[in-house]
Amino acid sequence: MSIAKNFFEIFSLPASWEIDHSVLDKKFRTLQLTFHPDRYANKNDFEKRLAVQTASTINQAYETLSSPLLRAQYLLKLEGFDADQESHITSDGQFLMQQMVLREALSDVKDCANPKDALVSLSIEAQQAAAKIQADFAQYFNTKDYNQAFDALAKMQFACKFVSDISSLEAELEEL
Amino acid sequence: MALLQISEPGQSPQPHQRKHAVGIDLGTTNSLVATVRSSSADILPDEQGRNLLPSVVHYETEGVSCVGYEAAEHNSSDPLNTLTSIKRLMGRGIGDIKRLGNSLPYDFAADDGGMPKIKTAYGPVSPIQVSAEILRKLAGRAELAFEGMLDGAVITVPAYFDEAQRQATKDAATLAGIKVLRLLNEPTAAAIAYGLDAEENEDTSAQRLIAVYDLGGGTFDISILRLSKGVFEVLATGGDSALGGDDLDHAIANWLCSELGMTHDLDPVEQRVLLETAKCAKEELTESDKVELDILDAKLVLTKDQLHELVDSLIDQTLSACKRAIRDAGVKINQIEEVVLVGGSTRMPRVGQKVAELFDRQPKCSLDPDLVVAMGAAKQAEVLIGNKSADDMLLLDVIPLSLGIETMGGLTEKLIHRNTTIPVAKAQEFTTFKDGQTAMSIHVVQGDRELVSDCRSLARFELRGIPPMVAGSAKIQVSYQVDADGLLNVSARELSSGVESSIEVKPSYGLTDNEITQMLQDSFSHARDDMRLRALREQQVEADRMLEDLRAAIDKDGESLLDTTELKCLQVALDELQVLRESCDDHRQLANQIESIGKSSEDFAARRMDVSIKQALAGLSLDEALDK
């Protein structure tokens, strides 16, 4: 189906790392106001099915462009780097060291006198690290240094996983 | 009284074109039906003016004897044939029911691995059949009020209902002969009823975050929504589809039991008596600080503080779910500007109090928590059936639990994560494990745990005919498609050979299509012609719809988007359909022609979608474009 074009084109946005989220949000709602299956409740079954497919594509495109990690993956995919990143591990020793230190800090949180505070400061540190990697990615991608960008993407995955592990632990601490 | 509406000259709606749509809240304890009249949503009461319909069905040897209030009267005298809280069994397997404990005093028919059936004087009945009886009764109320047939209904389900529970609900509607316009999540329905978007009209750019806390008789839901200009966007949802007011009653009943020193296994009559007493005590204590209970020749006193001790841990469970949903939504608790209470169990002051503490604000409950869901559903039904312009309302809902597939070692690989906006489609490639493997078993599961055994099994199917290859070199693409009702379709394809296999997921504990057909046939057994006529009528409506839609599409875009041959072919096919529509009385023949036109016009439809995406972004809706 021809709607399965590039996710940026669906929103008439340029394929770039920088994205104006308020514009994206607005365009997303405009498109769903037109294509959501609720708009097709009275149409025939084929149009209904097409609306489900179209709305699904719009949702997926929105999800991809909204998330820094998914957007970075997608941009590189458009450049021909089909990012099956599990096979790629960064060789940046300094980065790996930093991740190890962060991981250790995370596993020690539960034994801290005040785990919640410890987690908050760790969370801030992790987010700063993530922001730094995103900035690196942006720089490499914008200067078309795709190999470096690809390496930055692998780091981004590390960082994202770490932020989500912090969030799980936060949930765990709250339950106690 | 609401003011009656008079339309503008020249724009009077044709009375015969107005369709009859309702919203139905199919609840654990009570069910309701509502419709929109003169732009306000009204509950349709029974002949005695009662809004609620107790979700109770009584069976005798001949079949259903009564539904609702009358059935509830048999509660204590004939417990095994008086089925209550049936919603708790929808889409459940016998194992799940055992987990619910002895809270349901029924005899279950022997387990054949599928859906559990309850033994009654009439014979074994499935929860879907029982729910269909309740729906039929509500549809009857509606048809009486409309003095005509019901054209469609929006039926609400707990947001946290899984695929099997949703499918079971839809099957119950099919059995009851009701056309389902949409399954709508209960908290979302409540948000619509409150018209929470209406208040912010002055500032159209404003976005607001609201939380809907919905504690019903047997289910608990929490939804976090973002509202902006008529768009209701669910950010996250959570809950427990087996936690509700019933459980609060059980906690009190257990206390009664130990106070009375009852150690033997309770018989069904005793169970019902204890539960009734527990329920009354709970209700009494909303007003007073203590209640005296006369039960089975004993006198007991229950104070408010004691009550809190009994129920607090259950309420705390709901608060944990709230915290998780807030986290999933990616927001902070202090950003939530409004908290709405829904569901009969939120009448208990302790619930409101604890919710207020968590969110640090007074929750809103200006609409009757029992009626609000049905009212919201009625509003959406009005839009979906086409009586009301849809331009000012859009619901973007999410899937409550992740959908995955079983991989080697009994692990779950998630294809669609919880709280993803629906409809959604995702595909992922898998490969073979052994050299020369020619078949693959696809096991579809739902849940957020890592191990398949901790998730709910939805369906299994096989992809056969994979060309023999070295292990790991076949590429099997598995695609999941979830529609706007939250229902799943799965297909699998071997990419090099194109071998395909697909399945509309029929949950293990649901009814098969054949069973539904059989049940429908049984209910029509005295009027086979009726059934044939009904099928024909359905195809005729579909044909009319297709003729109307495609002719309008051709008028608008035919010249620009189709070449002359395509246009000609389509027009000829449509003329044939028109002739069949008028003359043919075989529904299958009509269905075939519809199917074939649908297929051949798919490209045209896709091209039109593309054009309208551009128009939508240019600030033009389809309708505006047509006007020019």
Going by pLDDT thresholds of 50, 70 and 90, the confidence category of residue B15 is: very low
Q: Has residue B509 got a pLDDT over 60? A: no
**Cα–Cα distance for residue pair A75/A16, rounded to 1 Å:** 7
- Mean pLDDT, chain B, rounded, equals 84
Contacts of residue B616 in chain A, CB cutoff 8 Å? 30-31, 33-35
Q: Does B607 touch chain A (CB under 8 A)?
A: yes
ipTM of predicted complex: 0.87
Contacts of residue A10 in chain B, CB cutoff 8 Å? 613
Q: Has residue B12 got a pLDDT over 50? A: no
Residues linked to residue A15 through DSSP beta bridges, in sequence order:
none
**Cα–Cα distance for residue pair B242/A51, rounded to 1 Å:** 34
Q: Has residue B350 got a pLDDT over 80? A: yes
Contacts of residue B423 in chain A, CB cutoff 8 Å? 37, 52, 55-56, 59
Q: Has residue B450 got a pLDDT over 70? A: yes
Give B117-176 pLDDT, tens digit per residue: 888 999 889 999 999 999 999 999 999 999 888 999 999 999 989 888 999 999 999 999
Does the distance separating the beta carbons of B545 and A42 come in below 8 Å?
Answer: yes
The pLDDT, as a whole number, for residue B36 is 92
The helix/strand/coil state of A134 is helix
Does the distance separating the beta carbons of A60 and B613 come in below 8 Å?
Answer: no
Does the distance separating the beta carbons of A3 and B549 come in below 8 Å?
Answer: no
Q: Has residue B622 got a pLDDT over 60? A: no
Q: Which of B214, B219, B223, B217 is nearest to B161 (CA)?
A: B219
- Number of CB pairs < 8 Å for A and B? 121
- Min Cα separation B529/chain A (Å): 25
**Cα–Cα distance for residue pair A106/A123, rounded to 1 Å:** 9
- Min Cα separation A74/chain B (Å): 15
* Average pLDDT value for residue range B601-610: 84
Q: C-alpha angle A166/B226/B349, rounded to 5°?
A: 85
Q: Does B573 touch chain A (CB under 8 A)?
A: no
Q: Which of B491, B466, B473 is nearest to B481 (CA)?
A: B491
Active site residues per annotation of B: 25, 87, 186, 214
Contacts of residue A41 in chain B, CB cutoff 8 Å? 181-182, 384-386
Q: Which of B509, B499, B478 is nearest to B405 (CA)?
A: B478
**Cα–Cα distance for residue pair A86/A153, rounded to 1 Å:** 11
Give B189-212 pLDDT, tens digit per residue: 999 998 755 554 455 557 889 999
Q: Does B34 touch chain A (CB under 8 A)?
A: no
Q: Does B324 touch chain A (CB under 8 A)?
A: yes
CB B278 within 8 A of CB B256: yes
Q: Which positions ≥6 away from A162 have C-beta within 8 Å? A: A99, A102, A103, A106, A126, A130
Q: Which of B210, B575, B232, B164 is nearest to B380 (CA)?
A: B232
Going by pLDDT thresholds of 50, 70 and 90, the confidence category of residue A1 is: very low
Q: Which two tokens stand for residue B136?
A: 């039929």
pTM for this prediction: 0.82
The pLDDT, as a whole number, for residue B526 is 44
Q: Which residue has the tokens 């029929």?
A: B506
Contacts of residue A42 in chain B, CB cutoff 8 Å? 384-386, 545
Does the distance separating the beta carbons of A45 and B598 come in below 8 Å?
Answer: yes
**Chain A interface, Cβ < 8 Å to B:** 1-3, 10-12, 27, 29-39, 41-47, 50, 52-57, 59-60, 62-63, 167, 170-171, 174-175
- Min Cα separation A109/chain B (Å): 20
- Min Cα separation B592/chain A (Å): 13
* Average pLDDT value for residue range A89-108: 83
Contacts of residue A27 in chain B, CB cutoff 8 Å? 617
Identify from B421, B610, B622 which residue to disrupt to test chain A contact, counting A C-beta atoms within 10 A and taking the largest count: B421
Does the distance separating the beta carbons of A167 and B182 come in below 8 Å?
Answer: no
**Cα–Cα distance for residue pair A66/B420, rounded to 1 Å:** 13
Identify from A10, A12, A33 which residue to disrupt to test chain B contact, counting B C-beta atoms within 10 A and taking the largest count: A33
Q: Roughly how many angstroms between the first and final C-alpha of chain B, as a whole number?
A: 41
Regarding predicted confidence, which is higher, B136 or B509?
B136
CB B300 within 8 A of CB B277: no
Going by pLDDT thresholds of 50, 70 and 90, the confidence category of residue B64 is: confident
Element (H, E) at B302: strand B298-303
Contacts of residue A60 in chain B, CB cutoff 8 Å? 424-426
Q: Has residue B415 got a pLDDT over 80? A: yes
Give B244-301 pLDDT, tens digit per residue: 988 999 999 888 888 888 777 777 778 888 888 898 899 888 888 888 888 777 888 8
